[in-house]
Amino acid sequence: MVDYVINWGRGVDSTAYLVAMLDDPKAHGVDLERTCVITMATGDEWPDSDADAEHYILPLLRDRGVRLVQLARGGQPAAAGIDVLDDSRSPERLIRRGRWSLWDEMEATGTVPQQGGVRKCSIRSKADVGDRWVKPATGGRPFRQMIGFNADEIGRSERDLRENKNPLRTGVYPLIEWGWGRQKCEDFLLERLGVRWKKSYCTFCCFPVSMGAMAAHLDRMRAFPDIAGRVLRLEYTAMRLNPNARLFGRHSLLEKFDPARSEDGPVLEAFAQELASCPWAVYHLRRLLPPSTNDPAAPGEWLRSVRRLRTGRPADLARTVERVGARIGARLEYEELFGSVRAWKRERGQALPVTEEFLVSAPAFAADKEKDVFPKKWARYTGVASTLQLTIKS
């Protein structure tokens, strides 16, 4: 029976708690037989974080026979359920991903994680997955759930308490009770394990800026240039499909690397290699921000239509966009580094409804996407009943 669940995010805070508690479970009021550690695989954790977790923490769990359950979301829709990747009292390794990962979602939608507001990606790939496992595992009985908020994050623990909708769950925040802030957790792990514990997050996360950790993030990218190249390709694709889709709001990841700096060379080479070796396509993009149905002066919700018109070699596709763009009277815009071309048929204005439409050559990872309501709304707000008529000949 499980009545104590420990959410191990593998970062500094939850790891510090886990290690301190495992050193003397009884002193912390923990019965390991009735305890379960859960961890969620997002699919894109940094390899050095996984390696440290496997090297330093899994042996502690094995020695004490603690149950570790590794979970992942089963697919994009909630109906896809969750995957139990491993459930063991002697875990040998961490499993990096399940059937679905956030990366798959970002590539298929041609987007990057959004800064600001609620971290929907984290809720979908971590919090929601854990909640769905906990419910049956605790068998309808009351349980405690440890969340590794540190003493500098009292606001987050208060929000967790406020938003708890499960009357059987009691959230516990031992690091706050102990007065352990981030620095204390780092110092403890360094002293206890002899390692400076690294931040745990997805390689393509947009939050290193708000965590004040951009310099360390870029160093990590330089240490793993292949990963950096893929993340740059993800951002590049998103920005070709939406010029505002930079990873860090007003700043892109790409602009953080300087071709004149020798240590940035491998990252930029890996990025160029990614773009040279991946499939490319011509996309037709339309975006619409209609007025709100309740208040015509206020914006409603963005709608988007993405259609892949043809695939091919980047240079050929760029010529196609030029040719079709000239034919339909679009403004041509050239991306100098890798030769992508955008042909603006309709450029975004300020007033509602906001509309934009263009053709662009870009890496071919985004899938076609258009909500059922889009054609009707587009026709209503643009007066154009049909889509841009394109005849693209080989």
> Which of 62/199 has CB closer to ligand SF4?
199
> Which of 236/283 has CB closer to ligand SF4?
236
Minimum CB separation of residue 144 from ligand SF4 in Å reads 24
Q: Is 124 helix (H, G, I), strand (E, B) or coil?
A: helix
Tokens 């292949």 correspond to what residue? 226
Backbone torsions φ then ψ of 162, nearest 5 degrees: -65, -40
200: amino acid identity, one letter: S
> Which of 95/168 has CB closer to ligand SF4?
95
> Which of 172/205 has CB closer to ligand SF4?
205
Minimum CB separation of residue 112 from ligand SF4 in Å reads 9
Minimum CB separation of residue 200 from ligand SF4 in Å reads 8
> 154: how many CB neighbours lie within 10 A of its CB?
12
Minimum CB separation of residue 303 from ligand SF4 in Å reads 24
Kindly list the distances between the CA atom of residue 343 and the CA atoms of 243, 279, 286, 314, 329, in Å, as whole numbers in the listed order: 13, 20, 12, 15, 9
> Which of 35/111 has CB closer to ligand SF4?
111
Tokens 């990606």 correspond to what residue? 121
Return the DSSP state at 29: T
What gap in Å lies between CA 2 and CA 141, rounded to an integer?
9
What gap in Å lies between CA 296 and CA 309, rounded to an integer?
34
> Which residues of this protein are in contact with ligand SF4, per CB under 6 A?
42, 102, 113, 119, 121-122, 125, 201-202, 205, 207
| Encoded tokens for 126 | 């971590």
Minimum CB separation of residue 133 from ligand SF4 in Å reads 17
> Which of 10/67 has CB closer to ligand SF4?
10
Backbone torsions φ then ψ of 50, nearest 5 degrees: -60, -40
What gap in Å lies between CA 19 and CA 131, rounded to an integer?
23
What gap in Å lies between CA 125 and CA 258, rounded to an integer?
33
Minimum CB separation of residue 179 from ligand SF4 in Å reads 26
